[in-house]
Amino acid sequence: MPASLSTAFFTSFYKAVVRTTLFRFPPETVHHWAMAGLACGAVTRPMGLLCRESFPTLRRTLWGIEFPNPLGVAAGFDKDALAPLAWERLGFGYVELGTVTRHAQPGNPKPRIFRLPPQHGLINRMGFPNDGAAAMAARLGKLRGRGAWPSIPVGINIGKSKITPLEEAAADYVESFRLLRDYADYFVVNVSSPNTPGLRSLQGRDALLGILGPLQEENGRGAGKRKPIAVKIAPDLRDDELGPILDAIVEAGCDGVVATNTTVNKNAVPLKEEGGLSGLPLRARSTEVIAQVARHLGGRLPILGVGGIFTAEDAKEKLDAGATLLQAYTGFIYEGPAFARRVCAGLAKA
Ligand SMILES: Cc1cc2nc3c(=O)[nH]c(=O)nc-3n(C[C@H](O)[C@H](O)[C@H](O)COP(=O)(O)O)c2cc1C
């Protein structure tokens, strides 16, 4: 059977049988099952036969790093680096681990993820549950010690610990960066999650410079190679807020913008649970922000586009709007394990 037919069949089977069954269980329970499966090579290696394909025309080089294709796993899926070897087998071109914080924390009370199947969306208010930066460093150190490292680039997304006051945010980010710098090809500073109180206020120009300045100082210190640092922004910024934020990101010597995080605007969906909305209802707004960012930056920094990518057409829309790399989370849940391969196959044909 040709590869495109077998992935189409696999995707139909996933949607009709696997997804229908999994969607009967709470989203976070299913996520834990999925992560357990993904952490197990015996599960992901055979999956690789169906889901992994190389697309030479989709290769990208950014920051001197080679990406086998532009579609990465968005932050939040593998928060604790539990399955770093799985993502290349599923056909992704890179993975962004985290968000990880300096201090381990439990996140918000459950339930904290909600599905919107008719709209192909999710609302989450996870609040960065994670084992902390030191635990992630130990886990990745062990992996490297075993000589088993992903062949795709690895980004690490860092956030502020809930217990750290906003005034001490810089030191919190710097310490996570210091603990993890040897394990990431690039870093993302997350100041745009709606689920950590006050976090998005760090997107203001002065607050942003107050974090990015010390981070870049640490980045330039020591014998280690300087790591690219991008900043992840919210889709809910007003037009007049966006320009000064982007100028601050450039001024701080950062290397990219990740656009966008989830939105707090739930006008398009019937469920009004507190948290951030992702998936198809976010797609158009995220693309609009990417286009605005691209216009403002005029090519000064690359954009990593994320928000509502389900198909190759969605991916192309974001590339056309000005993104260099792409990421997805919700589309992977709705489309299943062959998601990355199908998007990349479509992009390669376009
Ligand atoms: C359950 C869930 C958890 C998430 N956790 C994080 C996170 O820890 N850090 C982060 O930067 N973004 C997080 N995100 C946002 C995604 O990385 C992405 O920016 C957003 O979901 C839009 O992309 P999508 O429509 O492809 O899901 C999370 C999204 C979901 C659905």
CA angle 333, 337, 341 (to 5 degrees): 115
CA angle 196, 77, 230 (to 5 degrees): 65
What is the span of the domain harbouring residue 227? 3-349
| 187 phi, psi to nearest 5 deg | -120, 155
Find out whether the beta carbon of 330 lies less than 6 Å from any atom of ligand 1. Answer: yes
For residue 312, the domain's CATH number is 3.20.20.70
Closest CA to 230 of 123, 134, 128, 324: 324
Please report, in tens digits, the pLDDT of each residue of the chain (350 residues total). Answer: 566 778 888 899 999 999 999 999 999 999 999 999 999 988 888 888 878 889 999 999 999 999 999 999 999 999 999 999 999 999 999 999 999 999 999 999 999 999 999 999 999 999 999 999 999 999 999 999 999 999 999 999 999 999 999 999 999 999 999 999 999 999 999 998 888 888 888 888 999 999 999 999 999 997 778 999 999 999 999 999 999 999 999 999 999 999 999 999 999 999 999 999 999 999 999 999 999 999 999 999 999 999 999 999 999 999 999 999 999 999 999 999 999 999 999 999 98
Domain count, the chain: 1
Find out whether the beta carbon of 281 lies less than 6 Å from any atom of ligand 1. Answer: no
Closest CA to 170 of 216, 104, 124: 216
Find out whether the beta carbon of 282 lies less than 6 Å from any atom of ligand 1. Answer: yes
Q: Which of 261, 264, 280, 318 to mutate to test the pocket of ligand 1 (most atoms within 8 A of CB)?
A: 261
